[in-house]
Structure 1
Amino acid sequence: MTEAPLLAYYGDDFTGSTDVMEALSVNGVPTVLFLRRPTAAELARFPEARAVGIAGISRAKSPAWMDEHLPGIFAGLRALGAPLVHYKICSTFDSAPEIGSIGRAIDIGARVLGTRQTPVVVGAPVLRRYQAFGNLFATVGDETYRIDRHPTMSCHPVTPMTEGDLRRHLARQTDKPVALMDVLALWSEDYPARHRALLDGDAGVLLYDVLDDVTQRRTGELLWRDVTDGADSRFCVGSSGVEYALIAHWRASGAVPLPAAPRASAATASDRVMVVSGSCSPVTAGQIRWALENGFEGYTLDPAALLAPQTGEAALERAIGHCSAALEQGRSVVAFSSLGAPDKRTRALFNDDPEGFSHRLGRAQGRLLTETLRRTGVRRAVVAGGDTSGHAMNEMGAYALTTLTPIAPGSPLCTVHADDPDLDGLQIALKGGQVGQAPYFAHVRAGHA
């Protein structure tokens, strides 16, 4: 980088981190996403970057882990000199006091960044996520659900959303009072004054309703005004709705010059794609089924065999051999550990050690992906699942990603930056469980939706 970035962010999982990178990059804000805390030399390799992210795994971690790791991460982001530091969370807000606690991240970030009141923006209409009167809604197909009635998120295996009002949900995770800039305040003509009254209040957290273009743009305006009025880095929390709100304001006001239209880019088609999935989402299950019905070779991964010390290496080698052979025959491959909800045996393994299970299975899937790509020379891949993506990319040893082209909102095709020449320049998409249409894997292979 040649100057301080406009924004620096930490994503609580890898798929969400690429979501922010896409939102900024395709709207004319060059962004680099590091997969670990970058060195000065690595930062210098991206002189054009105006936003910098670090992909993380805190969504799957305990408050004790956050206490140990997040202060240093936030201090490092602040040291980049960006006026805004963003802790990026999932647009479904799934979290719990004991794992992936958004409240704990707010407490830590506010303390490190010296922020008295933390803005929280979750709604992102482009992702079909909406917040109204403090309640979060998400659309699936043609139906919109309050998040505590969402067919997947209400029964998430780790962090089920049992409360739709984000004020009440956050109250379980932080002692800070939570206020709301609601949709009626944002629609009103005196929205700046109503916002100022909330800023002058005693709340430690301020939620913003985002329901439509007006509330999105005005939220971005209020966020940026608060940032530019201050003399130090400002801390905020939210989905990529933060970036979409800022972009709407920057574009409307000219406060930050942007191209007149989103930057168009394209990738050429690939003859094959390697897909590894650890996602339990029914959306991903539908995408796997579509792929199997349309010419992809499927391989079912057995978590119990992969994780058992006496069978793990042999099971992994069988998977690598099978997937490599299919790719060398010219077929695309999808290797998956679950087709929707996990079976009872896998659920029992998870319940015995949730964090250890996810880590060890993700590492095995990362080894499968990396070794298969090495053996076959295939240069395009997909990893499905937020936790799986983090562990797989760490296993691969890459240090950064940049956006190549959009595929589905929130899960672009990216370029891998790695010191290893076998992996440098690889093209990969990190897909969240709820993202994409049924032919998503074929769209990645084609290089466009």
Structure 2
Amino acid sequence: MEEQRLLLAFYGDDFTGSTDAMEGLASSGYRTVLFMEAPTEEMLQAFPGIRCIGVAGTSRAKPPAEMEKELRPVFQSLARLDVPLVHYKVCSTFDSSPEVGSIGKAIAVARDYFAKDAVIPLLVGAPQLGRYTLFGQHFARMHDQVYRLDRHPTMSRHPITPMREADLRLHLGKQTAETIELMNFLELEGDPETVRERFAGKLQEKPGIILFDVIDEARLQMAGQLIWEAAQRQSRFVVGSSGVEYALTAHWKAAGIQPAADRIAHGPIKPAERMLVVSGSASPVTKLQIETALQQGFHGIRIPVDALVDSRSVPQNLLQEAIAHLQAGTSVVLYTALGPDDQAISETRERLNLLGLKDTDSSELIGRNLGRWTREIMQAVQLRRVVIAGGDTSGFVMREMNVYGLEMLLPISPGAPLCKAYSFAKELDGIEVALKGGQLGSPDYFVKVQQAGWE
């Protein structure tokens, strides 16, 4: 049996994606805590039986220079940890461009802290989330349909990083000069020794990055084994979606690397009588979730553009409306837009441009406003459960709420679990939070979160 030590540390380039990675580990029994900043040794000792840690970031929403400022201190801290493998966690739809959230930039920065000459594994497919990579082409499921990423109804029209190329090698090639090799799904077939020999042959070519195809559980586990074995030699840094966590846990269990014996027991979790949903997402998936919640009795409040872009004043009428409905026992949805065609999106951009702000500044401005309002509402009503929708805004909301850590309580929908929040603000410590990316969750996701519980 493996000694009880840290197995993995990951940095998530957005908050909802970070909870996705945490779920992949925790659901297999490996206690994982997601921190807002790289934890100190004293912080780690407060969580007995911890086997994996994460650091939730916001680099996906930033230009390269701002990414570097955020990533350098985090990578420096993670490189000092006694941990075999460090994962730069990206969205399973590979949201990135040379100008915003550049994965190539993250790799360049990481080279200064991890083995400079090592090949970096890249794994993005995650069958559990409906994400598949085949001959380097990436696909994503939306509802019951699987789309090539450049034809995906949401990702091909993403307001910041639209996906116009499904070949991950070509897409990433616009962000880095590193050579990218492919370990395709045929090369991952066969007995482990044969696959190892094929992988070794790839490494002999000395590429900078090696991408793994993933279309099913068998190849996912095989990729996890190759990544873990490479980490024992030199390749201590890996890039990819939460598919990395699912791949590693599949291999760890097969190899007898077990979770800690002293797992935490959180006790019974009751459904919420009332709940707040705060959405900064413009995806069609979130649009349907908001509409379903309203049909099920949630009270909807659209946040006007003027309030979104003005950080100097608080929309008291809006907050009082939300507080009044929650005090009356009605769940509330605060939202910025209904889907990618909502006129509020273009209006917000125009207002930001008039203020001299770039589109990339919108996530932080909106997220921080939403965070302040969320905290004020929760303190007024003493709520214990909240949902934040929107990958780029969730991180800023959590920071405004003074949250320093998250731990999974219950799975709700793949990639979007219900979590316990650890906050420096006493009135918010222990609240239940679900962070949901734009592409995740069933139409009744918000209703499911409110009803979630176990005795």
Into which bin does the TM-score normalised by the smaller protein fall? over 0.9
Q: What amino acid is the match of 1:171?
A: G
The 5-angstrom pairing of residues 209-224 of structure 1 reads: 209-224=213-228
The 1-side partners of 2:144 and 2:442 are apart by 13
The 2-side partners of 1:80 and 1:296 are apart by 45
Structure 1 residues 420 and 314, CA, compared in 2 at 3 Å: closer, same or farther?
A: closer
1:142 counterpart residue number: 144
How many percent identity over aligned positions?
46
Structure 1 residues 314 and 212, CA, compared in 2 at 3 Å: closer, same or farther?
A: closer
Q: Does 2:169 match 1:162?
A: no
Which structure 1 segments of 5+ residues have no match? Answer: none
Structure 1 residues 314 and 83, CA, compared in 2 at 3 Å: closer, same or farther?
A: closer
2:333 counterpart residue number: 334
Q: CA RMSD in A?
A: 2.1
**Matched length:** 441
Correspondence for 1:430 among 422, 435, 447: 435
SS of equivalent to 2:201: helix
Q: What amino acid is the match of 1:376?
A: V
How many Å apart are 1:4 and its aligned residue?
4.4
The 5-angstrom pairing of residues 290-301 of structure 1 reads: 290-301=292-303
Moved over 3 A (4+): 262-266, 349-352
Q: What amino acid is the match of 2:396?
A: H
SS of equivalent to 2:47: coil
Deviates more, 1:96-105 or 1:351-360: 351-360
SS of equivalent to 1:59: helix
How many Å apart are 1:442 and its aligned residue?
1.0
SS of equivalent to 2:244: helix
SS of equivalent to 1:411: coil
Correspondence for 1:367 among 365, 369, 372: 372
Correspondence for 1:397 among 385, 398, 402: 402
Give TM-score, length-normalised by structure 2.
Answer: 0.93
1:43 counterpart residue number: 44
How many Å apart are 1:418 and its aligned residue?
1.4
Deviates more, 1:319-328 or 1:188-197: 188-197
2:239 counterpart residue number: 237
1:307 counterpart residue number: 309
CA deviation string 1:219-265 (max 9, x = no partner): 011011111234xx7000000000100111122232x12499x9998
Structure 1 residues 5 and 439, CA, compared in 2 at 3 Å: closer, same or farther?
A: same
The 2-side partners of 1:284 and 1:87 are apart by 26
The 2-side partners of 1:258 and 1:42 are apart by 20
The 2-side partners of 1:274 and 1:250 are apart by 38
1:152 counterpart residue number: 154
How many Å apart are 1:302 and its aligned residue?
1.0
How many Å apart are 1:304 and its aligned residue?
2.3
Correspondence for 1:268 among 267, 270, 284: 270
Structure 1 residues 154 and 427, CA, compared in 2 at 3 Å: closer, same or farther?
A: same
CA deviation string 1:387-426 (max 9, x = no partner): 2211100100111111111110001100011122100110
2:393 counterpart residue number: 388
Correspondence for 2:202 among 198, 204, 228: 198
SS of equivalent to 1:184: coil
How many Å apart are 1:40 and its aligned residue?
3.4
The 2-side partners of 1:264 and 1:436 are apart by 26
Q: What amino acid is the match of 1:377?
A: Q
1:174 counterpart residue number: 176
Which structure 2 segments of 5+ residues have no match? Answer: none
Structure 1 residues 409 and 384, CA, compared in 2 at 3 Å: closer, same or farther?
A: same
SS of equivalent to 1:335: strand
Give TM-score, length-normalised by structure 1.
Answer: 0.94
The 2-side partners of 1:401 and 1:258 are apart by 19
Structure 1 residues 98 and 355, CA, compared in 2 at 3 Å: closer, same or farther?
A: same
The 5-angstrom pairing of residues 9-24 of structure 1 reads: 9-24=10-25
